Structure 1
Amino acid sequence: MLKQQQAIDNRNDLEQTFEKYISDTFTYIHITKTFCDNKIKTWYLQRAENLDTMKGIKDNANKSSTKLIPGRRQKLEKDLGDVLKSTLDGLSDMLLFLEAVEKLSVTSAFVFTDACSLPIGVSAEHVHSVIFAARMAASLMVHFKRDDRTFFIPSLSNLEVQVCYLDKYMSLLQQICKGMEESMKSIPSGKRLRWPYNSQAMRFSMYKDEHVQKMMRHCRQLDIIRNDPDFRLTFLFQGSAQLFISEFRQSKGRMQDFLSDLEECARQLDNLKFRVNISSVAGSSLSIVGGILSIVGMALIPVTAGVSSVLTVAGISCGVTSGVNSLVTGVAEMTVSKKHRDRSETTFQCFMKDVQTLVVCMEKVASSACPANRSEQIRALINNKGDNTVKIGQAGANLYRIGNRIENVLDSGGVAKGTSLMSKAARSGFIALNALFIGLDVLFICKDSISLSKGSKNEMAQLIRSRAALWRSELDSWEKIHDSLCRGLREFSSSQEILEQPFYPK
């Protein structure tokens, strides 16, 4: 009697576990179908609007002078922050859809037969089609494995890169939806699904108790596998998982050192800017004194019978000293800035070699071969992916370059310095001009003093720091992939074997 009751309990447990696995599968199908049928158009239009706004902000920043005035920069970055908030909300919806597709890709097709209880009008072949389509689309998901909230932060310096990657997301998501739509045409939407009222426990009654227990363990393992993000990622990488782990371990230290060097370079440039501002304040103050002495000396010549010319000479000396100080300061700033620029460019080239190695590995995953059982539409999806991948790879390499932007910042700084030096050299002996230059020097002192009080930042340093933050976000994402793959590989072979095992005893 006790043994019989135990057998009944085992069948009831199997029924609940089995029905949950079936129900969860159709929940993921519903999420996927709803997004593809109803949400993708609105989602795409909203992201296209975000993209246009971001491009408009980029154009406005480019139309302005290289050195954006603080108020203008703050306004543009506020506008960028608003549009990126909307973008991130949309990307959250996208990630829910992608997670559903990813879970479908590691769903056991062997569970679904025409003998099991499925919604009315839905055959096992329909479910198999969805699973195989998800497995093929899953290879594209490697492109979404980053922390969007740290990648899409408001930064005019990184706006070009963010525009490129949002455009890339939109293109890839359309491809995934196109492949999934074909596989779900015969499956009604979730609200229209009707389930038969027959009991699975009755179907399982034909199996021996040891078979029932084995099926229950198998079903529970399948549920654990499907909800394990480490297994899903390793399943996506397949044979490239170990390659990525190896390449990342070799590159990680060099890449971290590079980013630390960049951040140190930015810090030193800020310190240089601070010292230059101090020198500028001191030089301008000396220039004011010289200008006043020159004016007083020349004004008193008729009264002092030329004695006051000593004041004029002293004023000229102060002006010359101020000019020499500005010249030395300007040359020093240019020299040190060029040194840091050259150092950044050299280390950046080494860094990009490591980046390219990891990106090639990721691209290999994204273009990897899929299961043999696939539809013509999904085969076309994979074949059409290549052109976009190449385009994005080339764009990414170009967009991450910092040399031209740094050169522009330096050039504009040099022109500004040159103008200041020329103005100071032209002062001697002209009372009206000296009066004018005194006003300008007061203005420069105020400007540099305000900059000092705010902890003045070097524009080149800001660019380097922004780009370093972007790359550190990517490096952190790659490290999370590495750690996840390491965990996933521990039991990957046994888990994949379970996924590929027939579910029903012969």
Structure 2
Amino acid sequence: MLRLGLLDGEKFLSEFPQMKMELEKCVRELHALADKIQKTHRDCTISNVVASSTGVISGVLTITGLALAPLTAGVSLGLMATGMGLGTAAAVTSVSATIVDHSVHLSAKAKASKLVSTDNNTQEEIVKAVGQNTDKLVSITRTCIKDTRVIEKNINAFKLAKANPRLAANARRFMTNGSISVRKGRQVQKAFEGTALAMTKGARMVGMASTGIFLLMDLASLVKESKHLYEGAKTESADDLRLKASMVEKKLKELTQIYESLQRLTMLTKFFWFVTVD
């Protein structure tokens, strides 16, 4: 039994140096993955702050454009087109940042699970996340196409209003519920379809209210993301990986103590056998 114990001890002593190198590499890679997740999350948080700020500006321009529509068609359409463009840019930035943040997180988690072999659900999460990101990309693509068409309509309406002052004047009367014939009203709606110049006063008020709601949402998002960034933009995933690295380091320390103890014990045992044989 003693000889068997010595054989097992010698096997551990011979294999531990390689094991130690692998465990130390595992710890370094876990810390590197945690740092990567942390940096990516912070950069994406900054992008979300910019996107929320842009969204706020977009909302303000859109509301201003709707409010000024009865007074000045050109400025109104310009503000509407600019606001719509900024809103689209903000949406693309926000979705892109979310996808990048989530993708890096899942990739790092998959690598970490291979290093420590503790997570069996990572593959399912990746498949689920890919589906969600695909849905987001499809949605934002449709939004971009829709907004591009609206921007184009505003630009065309601006050109038309500038070239036809009488039609623009009829549009202003239509928007303020002024005296205008049904025929001229239909003409205005057909010419400026899809823009503020074809909206009644009630429709513009509804549009301003709806934009105001989205503006408040962007403001809330801006405050939330700014606070998160001010607090360091920490992420639980990075903390979890650092915790796993700490656990591996703890286990390595315990194994190192066992290794050193076995080394001393083996030396004493060999000395004992040498003295006994003599």
TM-score interval, smaller chain: 0.5 to 0.7
1:495: how far off?
A: 4.9
The answer to whether the Cα contact below 8 Å between 1:287 and 1:318 also exists between their aligned partners in 2 is yes
Q: Does 1:312 align with 2:59?
A: no
Report the aligned-residue RMSD. Answer: 3.7
> Structure 2 CA distance, aligned partners of 1:246 and 1:344?
27
Q: What is the aligned partner in structure 2 of residue 402 from structure 1?
A: 119
1:415: how far off?
A: 5.7
1:345: how far off?
A: 4.2
The answer to whether the Cα contact below 8 Å between 1:341 and 1:403 also exists between their aligned partners in 2 is no
Q: Read off the aligned partner of 1:471 and give its amino acid letter.
A: V
Q: Runs of 5+ in structure 1 lacking a partner?
A: 1-135, 137-233, 353-399, 501-506
| 1:364-443 alignment, distance < 5 Å | 401-402=118-119, 404=121, 408=125, 418=136, 425=143, 430-443=207-220
TM-score by length of 2: 0.65
Q: Does 1:282 align with 2:50?
A: yes
Q: Which moved more, 1:291-300 or 1:452-461?
A: 452-461
| 1:335-346 alignment, distance < 5 Å | 335-346=103-114
Q: Runs of 5+ in structure 2 lacking a partner?
A: 151-194, 196-206
1:235: how far off?
A: 10
Q: Does 1:292 align with 2:9?
A: no
1:258: how far off?
A: 1.6
Q: Read off the aligned partner of 2:214 and give its amino acid letter.
A: F
Q: What is the aligned partner in structure 2 of residue 458 from structure 1?
A: 235
| SS of residue matched to 1:491 | helix
> Structure 2 CA distance, aligned partners of 1:300 and 1:413?
44
The answer to whether the Cα contact below 8 Å between 1:409 and 1:460 also exists between their aligned partners in 2 is no
| SS of residue matched to 1:456 | coil
1:448: how far off?
A: 1.4
Q: Larger relative contact order (C-alpha < 8 A, sep ≥ 6)?
A: 2
| SS of residue matched to 1:455 | coil
Instruction: Give a deviation string over 1:417-438, Cα, whole Å, max 9, x none.
Output: 949x76x959988432321121
Q: Read off the aligned partner of 2:72 and give its amino acid letter.
A: T
Percent identity among equivalent residues?
25
> Structure 2 CA distance, aligned partners of 1:322 and 1:333?
16
TM-score by length of 1: 0.37
1:341: how far off?
A: 3.6
Q: What is the aligned partner in structure 2 of residue 469 from structure 1?
A: 246
Distance verdict in 2 for CA 1:277–1:490, change over 3 Å: same
1:327: how far off?
A: 3.0
The answer to whether the Cα contact below 8 Å between 1:334 and 1:410 also exists between their aligned partners in 2 is no
The answer to whether the Cα contact below 8 Å between 1:263 and 1:468 also exists between their aligned partners in 2 is yes
> Structure 2 CA distance, aligned partners of 1:476 and 1:494?
27
1:332: how far off?
A: 2.6
The answer to whether the Cα contact below 8 Å between 1:287 and 1:322 also exists between their aligned partners in 2 is yes
Q: Does 1:483 align with 2:251?
A: no
Instruction: Give a deviation string over 1:424-467, Cα, whole Å, max 9, x none.
Output: 95998843232112111111112111211221223322222222
1:287: how far off?
A: 0.6
The answer to whether the Cα contact below 8 Å between 1:334 and 1:414 also exists between their aligned partners in 2 is no
